[in-house]
Amino acid sequence: MTYEEKIQKAEEKEIFVLYDKKKLNKDNIVGIYKFFKIKDAEKHCFYIGKSTSIASRLFGSSQGHIYMFLKNDYSKLVPSKIAEYLDDGYKIQVEIEEIDYRDISFSKAAHRLALAELKQIVDYQNIGQCEFQKPEGANTYQEKFWEENYKIK
């Protein structure tokens, strides 16, 4: 199935990617993507990610968030949340923000992309959104340690 076919199938299921479809069909968009559930006047961000190939991250054949949903594979957070929210009558909207990845240093470019993602996650978490999203590299031991030692009760 081509990206165009996957995009069409997603739209039939009420999943909309707000981006130029011709550009999205190319596999070289670098930036962050934000998943929202939308119903009436409510718009709630539930996941933010980053990628050096957003089209692949959304529609790729192995771990693409939307493609996994289309294959009825809900083993990961994003496809399972998409299924849950669509069942609850929401539409899904994905917004893409391109990040300049050109630099003389890979490290600087990669950190700039990571910072853009983290800033958005923190901003949305501060208003009670993206609440299911865990930090990269965090595990259950670290979360338990935090709960025992730092959680405000």
User: Mind listing the pLDDT tens digit for each residue in 84-136?
Assistant: 999 999 999 999 999 999 999 999 999 999 999 999 999 999 999 999 888 87
**Residue 93, pLDDT score:** 98
R_g of the chain, CA atoms, integer Å: 16
Q: With 0-12 CB in 10 A as exposed, 13-18 as middle and 19+ as buried, what is 153?
A: exposed
**Residue 94, pLDDT score:** 97
Backbone angles phi, psi at 88, to 5 degrees: -85, 5
Whether the predicted pLDDT of 24 surpasses 80: no
**pLDDT single digits (tens) 33-55:** 999 999 999 999 999 999 999 99
Grade residue 26 by pLDDT with cuts at 50, 70 and 90. Answer: low
Please state, in angstroms and rounded to a whole number, the distance separating the CA atoms of residues 79 and 62: 13
Residue numbers of the domain that contains 67: 3-149
**Residue 142, pLDDT score:** 86
Residue 65: count other Cβ atoms within 10 Å of its Cβ: 23
pTM value is: 0.92
Pairing label, strands 15-18, 91-98: parallel
Partners of 43 in beta bridges: 38
Mean pLDDT (whole number) for 10-14: 97
The total number of structural domains in the chain stands at: 1
Q: Which of 47, 53, 40 is nearest to 91 (CA)?
A: 40
Torsion of CA 15, 4, 102, 62, to 10 degrees: 80
Grade residue 79 by pLDDT with cuts at 50, 70 and 90. Answer: very high
